[in-house]
Structure 1
Amino acid sequence: MGAEARKMIRELVTTMRRTGSTTPTIVRTIMDRWGTPPLVAYRHAFALSQTQIADRYNERWPEETPKTFKQVSYWERWRGPGAPASGSARPPSLQDLGRLAILFGCRVDDLLYGPRDASGPPALIVSHDVIGHIVSALQRDGQPDYPESDDGSEPVAVRSILGEGTITVTMSRRAFSSLLAGGGLAALLPGAVSSPASAEPGTAAFFRRTLIGHQAGHHLLTPGAHIASLVETLRDIADRRDTVNGQYRRDLRAVQAEIAEHLSWLHREIADTEACRHWAGKASAWAMEAGDTSMATYMMLRTASLALDHRDFARVLDITQTVRHAEWPTPPVLQAVACLYEARAQAAAGTIDAAALDAADELLAAPRSADDPPYLRFYGPAFGDLQRATCYVSAGEHERAVTILQAQLTGLPATHYRDRAVHLVRLGVAHAAGQAPDAAALAGLAGLTEARRSGSKHVLTELKPLADLLQRRWPDQHKVREFRAALAAM
């Protein structure tokens, strides 16, 4: 690329940044006008030289043999997947691609193919072994790959990266849900499906296995897709209950309560508060009918969680005190959740309740009872750390929150988009409290990407206050404007 072209690109980037264009838009414009590979376009979008890219790489990931501008030049001369390597064009390794994606705040796919429209759910990135497992399950279970024959819903794509190429398996949402519920995607859900694999159809164990598959695979489909499938499962249970009596009916009612609880959570994710409360009420009523005091207690804590969303801290304390001093047996995990929510209510007033947080840590770290309901398996030390970090943010101890959240983010599985989005939102708020607007905006942008992938509108509602805060305090920061523009485009 000649000096004149580089000058024109610099002027274009300056103009587009000034008018609030997002980085993906700038990258795509550079690629379209000058025919550059994505990696080159990303570098120019950030107004960096090849030497500066190498320096930033080495600063973040110091190695025995540092990268040089020459290495970056080799990468940029490679034209992407399918293009041959040569003496002057060498593809970056998958590790290098991942690190470059971190430097540019984008996805590996964006560096290979250019920025994509993220309005729909992306393909699930899995290992080659998982792809093989899925294909085998589809063949074994007689589930043909005909996404166009589905009920009009968006098909599900699962992709594996092999060297410089990819393998993609696309199936209907119905086929995917069937594999998920039946344990056919166990390779994606390690240790998650604890119900007997041979549960007889129509039994409580069979329907609970279906629910566990949806809970463990919450990150694999959008909330709406899970909702449609679980509502259909509730209809099947209702039909089955009409044919049995006694304990069998109560067992099925208990499973209905657990499904209603998960539907309540899913509707919270799509920001449908009315439906969230409706299903929470159903879960509470069905749990009491089935004699499931653990589920009834759990739904009380769900109400406390909603009260935290609306900053009704007095109600939070009323509920948590009731749970902590309940006359009926309460699983230690629920006692821990009550402690954490109580601590969050106290933190909103500027007080860190260290005793409650420490008590929750001990309860969450203790060995689980075999009698614990399966829906409590999600509440472990990582949940406690997130709640602790949230307390620190509320109480103004932002540095402690940043340390916890950054550590948590590094340990999240690649496909847990919603969990990553939640952590990034909290991280953005912590950075803002620490007077670091660029870091806060970058966390917000990353959180927005993950929220799009997960389909979580609830997380999007949490991003808006962060964007408003950054706009009030630092309206002229480039990253702040980029974050607000990206959020407004949703």
Structure 2
Amino acid sequence: MDDGGPLARLRRLRDGMARRGAAGDQIAAVLIERFGVNPRVAFRHAAGLTQSQVADRYNRNWPATVPKTRKDVSYWECWQGPGAGTSASARAPSYGDLIRLAQVYACSVDDLLLGPRRGADSAPIEVSYQVITDILSSLGVVDYAETLDGGGAASITLRAAVGEGSITVRLSRRQFTELLATGGLAALLPDDALAAVTADAGVTDDMSTWRRTLSAHQAGHHLLTPQAHIAALTDVLADVSAVREEASSELRPKMRRIQAEYAEHISWLCREAGDLTSCWRWADRAAGWALESGDTAMGTYMMLRRATVALDHGDHVRATELARAARRTKHAIPAALDAAAQLYQARAEAMTGKIAEARLDGADELLAQGRHRDDGPAYLRYYTPEFGELQRATCYVTAGMPSRAVTILQARITSLPNTHHRDRAVHLVRLATAHAVDRAPDAAAIAGLGALIEARRAGSVPTVTDLERVDGILTRGWPRQPKVREFHDALISAQAAVQPSHPAT
């Protein structure tokens, strides 16, 4: 749109309505109807702001290490809303970004996603399960208050903004302490997500419940320690095994597939807990059950899991062989697995000093296609565009281009919710490595200290192990640097405190 066309007409209409005293939501509704713009564009114009002015206000009100730019606002406005995918020019804003945009535009988050409400009789809005879990998981860090009730007992009130309203949870001090001690997954997820399997329920209903339970643990992986998740999941898996013994021959393969998905997630959790023996025992169990059930996708996924181990050990030849084998399977594989295979091939090539940009870009496109699909195996939902960004950054560090990785990682870390301790730990480790390779010892040490804090909160043992490489680079190059010594001492303490647990197998 040029100044003499629709944009000029839009602005004249907006200015005229504002002079007549029209409210922002009224102006936005008319702009959407007349010009077909999406809600985020409409509310920006209703506020009389350009994209650059929005970025300036955002940065002034919420300063960050990586400031927002006009381009960020453009990405959010090109995004087509809930359920839409992303592209090179369209990216979904985080929930935190939406909250802040709503404050800048003096509207609600719901308005920015779905447009202004048309009245009290509007149809109810469906909110995705992932959005619900993200909001509820933030209850422990938003608007904390402690008061004395009428009986003199201390009570805790937690509030989290949701659209125009909020969720409020009021607990006694004892309940709050117990909630923190147990991780609170059952309290923070919908009631039916962790519903117990009843003896008189049909097997089909049971399978639906088992899948919801696994999805709840996967979506809420940051809410509990690995050990707590493992204990709960192995109990459910025992129920699955018992019911399968009495199931029909038609249902038994389907139940075996569910068992394989549980075993895969338990394998990952065992790795997070530092128990590699149980990790691979569960991985082998998952692969065997997947083969038995005819789940070729799971078999390919486990092959790629072994490719990551080869990458961790610096064996780029073996990693390449496994990634290529995954893509050569005679069965069609999901786009997410094809993307992962290409990313691991790119990481293997980075070990030889080459950046496979075409392969990385191809993987990004595949990951963007499957971003909002919920009909595939739950374990594939970890393969997101953000996963692709992390692999790209790792390639840059490995190939000796750390400054490019720093830019990616800093932007990603600032967008992660504070409650996602495990994800923050992983990204901070990569950032520390990038700074160390880029010969910025203080920055590397600070990122490493942050990773140790997040690892302790998440109970993630691999993070501590991954930081040993960073420590080696720093202590060899800058042994007398104060921040380097501080990080080194903190890492030694963390290593001493880590006692890899060995969950039930």
TM-score by length of 1: 0.63
Per-residue deviation, residues 65-121 of structure 1 (Å, max 9, x unmatched): xxxxxxxxxxxxxxxxxxxxxxxxxxxxxxxxxxxxxxxxxxxxxxxxxxxxxxxxx
Alignment counterpart, residue 430 of structure 2, candidates 412, 426, 429: 426
Gaps of 5+ in 1: 1-60, 65-123, 133-157, 194-198
Aligned counterpart, 1:171: 178
243 and 381 in structure 1: CA distance in 2 versus 1, 3 angstrom threshold: same
Inter-partner Cα distance in structure 2 for 1:220 and 1:63:
29
In the alignment, structure 1 residue 387 sits paired with structure 2 residue 399: no
How far, CA to CA, are the matches of 1:430 and 1:175 in structure 2? 32
Q: Secondary structure of the equivalent of 1:203? A: helix
Give the Å deviation of 1:62.
Answer: 6.1
Query: 2:348 aligned with 1:345, yes or no?
Result: yes
1:171 corresponds to which letter in structure 2?
Answer: E
Aligned pairs for 1:246-257 (under 5 A) are 246-257=249-260
Which AA in structure 1 matches 2:438?
A: G
Counterpart pick for 2:241 among 238, 253, 258? 238
Q: Report if the CA contact (8 A) 1:402-1:427 is conserved.
A: yes
1:454 is aligned to 2:461: no
Residue 437 of structure 1 pairs with residue 450 of structure 2: no
Does the 8 A contact of 1:441 with 1:480 survive in 2? yes
1: distance between equivalents of 2:187 and 2:202? 16
Matching residue of 2:5 = none
RMSD: 3.2
CA 1:256/1:402 → structure 2, altered by over 3 Å: closer, same or farther?
A: same
1:106-185 correspondence runs (5 A): 126=139, 160=158, 169-171=176-178, 176-179=184-187, 183-184=190-191
8 Å CA contact retained: 2:182, 2:224: no
- What are the Cα deviations for residues 440-470 of structure 1, in whole angstroms up to 9, with x where unaligned? 0000000100010000001110011111211
- 2:333 equivalent to 1:326: no
Residue 292 of structure 1: aligned partner = 295
Query: Residues 128, 228 of structure 1: CA spacing in aligned structure 2 closer, same or farther, 3 A cutoff?
Result: closer
Cα 1:468–1:325 change in 2 (3 A) is: same
Q: 1:405 aligned to 409, 421, 425, which one? A: 409
Change (3 A) 1:450 1:213: same
CA gap 1:425/1:130 in 2 versus in 1, 3 angstroms: same
- Percent identity reads 49
Shift of 1:129: 8.7
Deviation, structure 1 residue 185: 9.3
Give me the whole-angstrom Cα distance separating, in 2, the residues matched to 1:218 and 1:426. 20
What is the aligned partner in structure 2 of residue 471 from structure 1?
Answer: 475
Task: Indicate if the aligned counterparts of 1:200 and 1:206 stay in contact, CA closer than 8 A.
Answer: no
The answer as to whether partners of 1:208 and 1:255 remain within 8 angstroms in 2 is: yes
Letter in 1 for 2:268: W
Matches of 2:159 and 2:247, distance apart in 1? 49
* Alignment equivalent of 1:264, drawn from 233, 253, 267: 267
Q: 1:410 to 1:63 in 2, by over 3 A?
A: closer
1:45-60 to structure 2, matched below 5 A, reads none
> Which amino acid in the other structure matches residue 413 of structure 1?
P
Given that residues 351 and 395 in structure 1 are in contact (C-alpha distance below 8 angstroms), is that contact kept between their aligned partners in structure 2?
A: yes
Indicate the SS of the match to 2:355: coil
Gaps (5+ residues) in structure 2? 1-58, 63-136, 146-155, 161-169, 196-200, 495-505
Within 1, Cα distance between the matches of 2:431 and 2:202? 45
Matched to 1:397, the amino acid is M
Matched, 1:220 2:223: yes
Structure 1 residues 209, 431: CA separation in 2 closer, same or farther (over 3 Å shift)?
Answer: same
Specify the code of the residue in structure 1 equivalent to 2:190. Answer: G
Counterpart amino acid of residue 126 in structure 1: L
Contact 2:144-2:159 within 8 A present in 1 as well: no
Change (3 A) 1:232 1:422: same
Aligned equivalents of 2:421 and 2:183: distance in 1?
A: 22
Residue 316 of structure 2, aligned match among 309, 313, 320: 313
Give 1:271 deviation, angstroms: 2.1
Q: Give the SS at the match of 1:489.
A: helix
1:247 positional shift: 2.4
* Distance in 2 (alpha carbons) for counterparts of 1:243 and 1:384: 43
Equivalent residues of 1:203, 1:252 under 8 A apart: no
Q: How far apart are 1:171 and its partner, in Å?
A: 3.4
Contact 2:183 2:225 in 1 (8 A): no
Distance 1:329 1:427 in 2: 35
Q: Paired residue for 1:359?
A: 362
Counterpart amino acid of 1:293?
T
Kindly provide the CA deviation profile for residues 27-51 of structure 1, in whole angstroms up to 9, marking residues without a partner as x: xxxxxxxxxxxxxxxxxxxxxxxxx
C-alpha deviations, 1:307-346, integer Å up to 9, x for none? 2122222211111111112110100110000000111111
Q: Determine the C-alpha separation between the residues in 2 that align with 1:424 and 1:234.
A: 34
SS of the aligned residue for 1:349 comes to coil
Deviation, 1:63, is 7.4
Paired residues, what number? 335
Aligned residue type for 1:215: Q
Contact 2:185–2:223 (8 Å) recurs in 1 = no
Q: Are 1:486 and 2:490 counterparts?
A: yes
Separation (CA, whole Å) in 2 of partners of 1:359 and 1:254: 30
* Residues 264, 283 of structure 2: 8 Å contact kept: yes
Q: Which residue number in structure 2 is paired with residue 281 of structure 1?
A: 284
Which amino acid letter does the alignment assign opposite residue 454 of structure 1? A
Measure, in 2, the Cα distance between the counterparts of 1:292 and 1:298: 10
Distance 2:492 2:467 in 1: 11
Kindly tell me: are residues 287 and 479 of structure 1, through their superposed partners in 2, closer, same or farther at Cα, counting changes over 3 Å?
same
Structure 1 residue 178 displacement after superposition? 4.2
